[in-house]
Copies of this chain bind each other. A is one copy, B any other.
Amino acid sequence: MMKNLPHKTIERLSQYRRALLICLEKGQTHIYSHEIAKIQHITAVQVRRDLMLIGYTGTLRKGYNVKDLIDLIGNIIDSTEGINVAILGMGNLGRALINYFAGKRSQLKIVAGFDINPDKIGNTMSGVPCYSSEDMNRIIKEKNIKVGIMTVPADFANATADQLVKAGIRGILNYTPKPVNVPDNVYLEEYDMITSLEKVAFFVKINDE
């Protein structure tokens, strides 16, 4: 069930939820599709279509119940028991991610960081303990870590991915600028900041022409 949601819909649901949580905090009980759309820079049709796909039905002329929709999106995208996450590489980017998540109520818990720098190993950062990369296999199994976020230097990308796979990781989010190879049973998402910047620069350039 819900296995066939388009990738883009999954991404948007995550974003809708975040926007909705802010609305909830403000005490807003209902929201229209076009309000969600405006926040996300998309069309109201897109929003309604996504919500149709997850079978949520709002109230005519009142819009969607903020709380209900948050809960439904949670039922769809969160896993019931929660998922433990590790950060590979406690450099600037790794710490940035930890801070993003620190204190967030979330099914996703960053429970471990790994690094090779002895100064970092043994410390905790924003509540996340830093372990030696040598202990990766053991800690990942002990802590039942399912997802790894790779923020190591590019030269370590492949070796780190291999280690993660060996340790039985189920999903990898790779922020290094180097694509890595994993077996089919490991879900891999790669994001390249340099590419994003080059893309922005490209469109700035052609807008000038």
**Interface residues of A, CB < 8 Å — how many?**
63
Let me know if A18 and B92 touch, CB within 8 A: no
Let me know if B200 and A172 touch, CB within 8 A: yes
Which residues of B lie under 8 Å from residue A78 when comparing CB positions?
201, 205
Q: Is A48 an interface residue (CB 8 A)?
A: no
Which residues of B lie under 8 Å from residue A204 when comparing CB positions?
79, 83, 146-147, 170-171, 187
Chain B residue, CB-CB nearest to A194: B100
Q: Is A53 an interface residue (CB 8 A)?
A: no
Within residues 153 to 209 of chain A, which ones have a CB less than 8 A from any CB in chain B?
A: 170-173, 177, 179, 181, 185, 187-209
Q: Is A133 an interface residue (CB 8 A)?
A: no
Which residues of B lie under 8 Å from residue A3 when comparing CB positions?
206, 209
Complexed CA–CA distance, A176 and B2 (Å): 29
Q: Is A15 an interface residue (CB 8 A)?
A: yes
Let me know if A196 and B173 touch, CB within 8 A: yes
